[in-house]
């Protein structure tokens, strides 16, 4: 199988060599085909994902899987002509009248290793940006979502040649071989632990990587926050896909004097948004479900106060001790720890004492506090008075920092991520560069402020 992977890569690289700079119309047409594939097979996509998860809301699939891809392709096709244009770079006055420009150039072949939690959109979102930049793409979807992976592998050849886009199915051994291929860029979305292994494999080939790794994204609820609005947003973010979202709020920090009021507001939000299991989502495997429930059981066994209305809704875990597994690892399930602190300064210190998260949610309208949070914390994204929806803004970069990831994509940021920004220097016929060539003249060096 490794030889087959190498053959596919060589075929794509050869095609890229034959057409090293796809035209605007070619790129836009590829994006249109990708959107058409998603739009025309919505029912098949929903069925495949629901089969993989056992149960998943069709509405959430349309929102997070189908609409996300269609919106991203529309945005990219609309703005691509502008992104592709070379743009001027500032020229030091000493080198006038020479000119400098920056010209985006395709990298070649981009590899995408996608996760199981959003098996359609997270496979194709990097491909959208890679296509926009003029690259060909190889996708290795997660083996934990076999039905969606099989559908992707079935549909792609109906819309693309292997030289444009191909899908490679398989388990961990195939994933390991895939990550070791000499791509021109490799995108991995998944856990921090596996991300380290992917980065090590890519490093052997000097392959640049974009790692989207998740982590524990906190929500800070300030004293001026509207608790009902904050609670509704937090439960929306935690309830989506049963908490199996890399940017789901992982835990909530609130001042002690507001803890009980926030618990009540969160309980009301759960009752309003998740009154039954009608819109609930299952887990992609029994192991994932058992882990999710084990985290809650461990907290209960350690004497934590638990508010749990059933498997279909987030479970509130009040003031868990820091040695519990749900406080040491990304939860990726329905447990939602609430942690009381003395002040907002303590909340900020709590966040800063841990690895930088993929997202930091803050509920406050206080401009001074918003500025403090911008300056005093570090995270992939900083979101005020909402959860998750920043991911739906195509013009915002999406990516982590530190243990939550490396690099960012989406929109123009993805286009540039998968491009080589080539520096170009144009010397003028009236060049004065001969003045700074040997033999050097002291008076001229002094005039030019050199040395």
Which of 82-96, 279-293, 427-441 is modeled with the greatest confidence?
82-96
Whether 166 sits among the annotated catalytic residues: the reply is: no
Whose structure tokens read 């292997």? 162
Express each pLDDT in 153-175 by its tens digit.
999 999 999 999 999 999 999 99
Tell me, letter by letter, the H, E, C secondary structure of the chain.
CHHHHHHHHHHHHHHHHHCCCCCHHHHHHHHHHHHHHHHHCHHHHHHHHHHHHCCCCHHHHHHHHHHHHHHHHHHHHHHHHHHHCCEEECCCHHHCCCEEEEEEEECCEEEEECCCCCCCHHHHHHHHHHHHCCCEEEEECCCCCHHHHHHHHHHHHHHCCCCCEEECCCCHHHHHHHHCCCCCEEEEECCHHHHHHHHHHHHHCCCCEEEECCCCEEEEECCCCCHHHHHHHHHHHHHHHHHCCCCCEEEEEEEHHHHHHHHHHHHHHHHHHCCCCCCCCCCCCHHHHHHHHHHHHHHHHCCCEEECCCCCCCEEEECCCCCCHHHHCCCCCCEEEEEEECCHHHHHHHHHCCCCCCEEEEECCCHHHHHHHHHHCCCCEEEECCCCHHHHCCCCCEECCHHHEECEECHHHHHHHCEEEEEEEECCCCCCHHHHCCCCCHHHHHHCCCC
Angle, in degrees to the nearest 10, between helices 67-84 and 121-132: 10
Could you tell me the pLDDT band of residue 143, with boundaries at 50, 70 and 90? very high
Instruction: Please state the rounded mean pLDDT for residues 30-49.
Output: 98
Catalytic residue (choose from 60, 65, 212, 255): 212
Could you tell me the pLDDT band of residue 23, with boundaries at 50, 70 and 90? very high
Query: Mean pLDDT across the chain, nearest whole number?
Result: 94
For residue 107, pLDDT over 90 is answered with: yes
Contact 118, 65 (CB under 8 A): yes
Instruction: Please state the rounded mean pLDDT for residues 354-382.
Output: 97
Angle at the Cα of 304 from the Cα atoms of 303 and 305, rounded to 5 degrees: 120
Q: What is the pLDDT of residue 284?
A: 80
User: Can you tell me the distance from the alpha carbon of 263 to that of 410, in angstroms, rounded to the nearest whole number?
Assistant: 35
Distances (CA, A) of 378 to 114, 213, 353, 383, 430: 25, 15, 11, 12, 48
Distances (CA, A) of 267 to 71, 105, 133, 332: 33, 52, 46, 20
User: Can you tell me the distance from the alpha carbon of 409 to that of 186, in angstroms, rounded to the nearest whole number?
Assistant: 12
For residue 308, pLDDT over 80 is answered with: yes
Instruction: Please state the rounded mean pLDDT for residues 1-9.
Output: 84
Task: Give the residues across from 87 on adjacent strands.
Answer: 102
Percent of the chain residues topping a pLDDT of 70: 98
Q: What is the pLDDT of residue 445?
A: 75
Could you tell me the pLDDT band of residue 384, with boundaries at 50, 70 and 90? very high
Whether 260 sits among the annotated catalytic residues: the reply is: no
User: Can you tell me the distance from the alpha carbon of 59 to that of 134, in angstroms, rounded to the nearest whole number?
Assistant: 33
Could you tell me the pLDDT band of residue 120, with boundaries at 50, 70 and 90? very high
Q: What is the pLDDT of residue 446?
A: 77
User: Which residue, 336, 338, 384, 330, is CA-closest to 357?
Assistant: 330
Express each pLDDT in 51-79 by its tens digit.
999 989 999 999 999 999 999 999 999 99
Catalytic residue (choose from 60, 65, 166, 246): 246
Distances (CA, A) of 58 to 44, 53, 145, 353, 387: 11, 12, 16, 39, 20
Q: Are strands 419-426 and 99-106 parallel, antiparallel or unpaired?
A: antiparallel
Could you tell me the pLDDT band of residue 2, with boundaries at 50, 70 and 90? low
What count of other Cβ atoms lies within 10 Å of the Cβ of residue 394?
Answer: 23
Q: What is the pLDDT of residue 241?
A: 93
Q: What is the pLDDT of residue 9?
A: 96
Contact 313, 333 (CB under 8 A): no
Instruction: Please state the rounded mean pLDDT for residues 82-103.
Output: 92
Express each pLDDT in 232-255 by its tens digit.
999 999 999 999 999 999 999 999
Record the pTM: 0.94
Express each pLDDT in 309-361 by its tens digit.
988 899 999 999 999 999 999 999 999 999 999 999 999 999 999 999 999 99
Q: What is the pLDDT of residue 92?
A: 86
Q: How many residues comprise the chain?
A: 451
Which range among 32-36, 94-98, 370-374, 413-417 shows the weakest confidence by mean pLDDT?
Answer: 94-98
Could you tell me the pLDDT band of residue 364, with boundaries at 50, 70 and 90? very high
User: Which residue, 226, 195, 98, is CA-closest to 402?
Assistant: 195
Q: For residue 432, what are the contacts with CB-CB under 8 A and spacing of at least 6?
A: 96
For residue 46, pLDDT over 90 is answered with: yes
For residue 3, pLDDT over 90 is answered with: no
User: Can you tell me the distance from the alpha carbon of 333 to that of 354, in angstroms, rounded to the nearest whole number?
Assistant: 20
For residue 448, pLDDT over 90 is answered with: no
Q: What is the pLDDT of residue 449?
A: 76
Contact 222, 346 (CB under 8 A): no
For residue 451, pLDDT over 70 is answered with: no
Higher per-residue pLDDT: 408 or 277 = 408
Could you tell me the pLDDT band of residue 436, with boundaries at 50, 70 and 90? confident
């Amino acid at each position: 199988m490794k030889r087959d992977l190498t053959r596919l890569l060589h075929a794509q690289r050869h095609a890229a060599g034959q057409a090293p700079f796809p035209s605007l119309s070619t790129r836009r047409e590829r994006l249109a085909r990708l959107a058409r594939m998603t739009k025309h097979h919505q029912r098949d996509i929903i069925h495949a994902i629901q089969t993989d998860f056992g149960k998943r809301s069709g509405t959430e699939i349309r929102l997070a899987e189908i609409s996300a891809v269609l919106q991203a392709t529309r945005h990219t096709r609309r703005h691509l002509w502008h992104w592709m244009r070379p743009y001027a770079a500032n020229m030091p006055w000493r080198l006038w009248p020479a000119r400098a420009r920056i010209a985006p150039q395709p990298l070649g072949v981009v590899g995408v290793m996608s996760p199981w939690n959003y098996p359609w959109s997270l496979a194709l979102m990097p491909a959208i940006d890679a296509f926009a930049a003029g690259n060909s793409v190889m996708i290795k979807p997660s083996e934990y979502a076999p039905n969606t992976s099989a559908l992707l592998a079935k549909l792609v050849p109906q819309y693309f040649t292997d030289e444009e886009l191909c899908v490679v199915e398989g388990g961990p051994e195939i994933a390991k071989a895939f990550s070791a291929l000499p791509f021109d860029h490799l995108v991995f979305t998944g856990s921090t632990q596996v991300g380290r292994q992917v980065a090590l494999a890519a490093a052997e080939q000097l392959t640049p990587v974009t790692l989207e790794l998740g982590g524990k994204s906190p929500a800070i609820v300030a004293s001026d926050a509207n608790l009902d609005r904050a609670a509704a947003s937090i439960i929306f973010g935690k309830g989506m896909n049963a908490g199996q979202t890399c940017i789901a709020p992982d835990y909530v920090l609130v001042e002690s004097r507001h803890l009980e009021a926030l618990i009540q507001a969160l309980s009301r939000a759960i009752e309003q948004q998740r009154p039954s299991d009608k819109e609930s989502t299952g887990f992609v495997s029994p192991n994932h479900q058992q882990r999710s429930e084990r985290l809650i059981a461990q907290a209960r066994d350690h004497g934590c106060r638990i508010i749990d209305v059933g498997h279909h809704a987030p479970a509130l875990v009040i003031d868990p001790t820091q040695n519990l597994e749900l406080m040491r690892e990304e939860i990726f399930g329905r447990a939602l720890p609430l942690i009381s602190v003395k002040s907002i300064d303590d909340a900020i210190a709590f966040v800063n004492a841990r690895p930088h998260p993929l997202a930091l949610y803050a509920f406050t309208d206080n401009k001074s506090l918003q500025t403090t949070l911008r300056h005093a914390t570090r995270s992939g994204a900083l979101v005020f008075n909402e959860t998750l929806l920043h991911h739906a803004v195509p013009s915002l970069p999406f990516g982590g920092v530190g243990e939550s990831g490396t690099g960012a994509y989406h929109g123009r940021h993805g286009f540039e991520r998968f491009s080589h920004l080539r520096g170009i220097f144009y010397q003028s016929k009236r060049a004065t560069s001969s003045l700074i060539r040997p033999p050097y003249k002291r008076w001229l060096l002094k005039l030019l402020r050199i040395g």
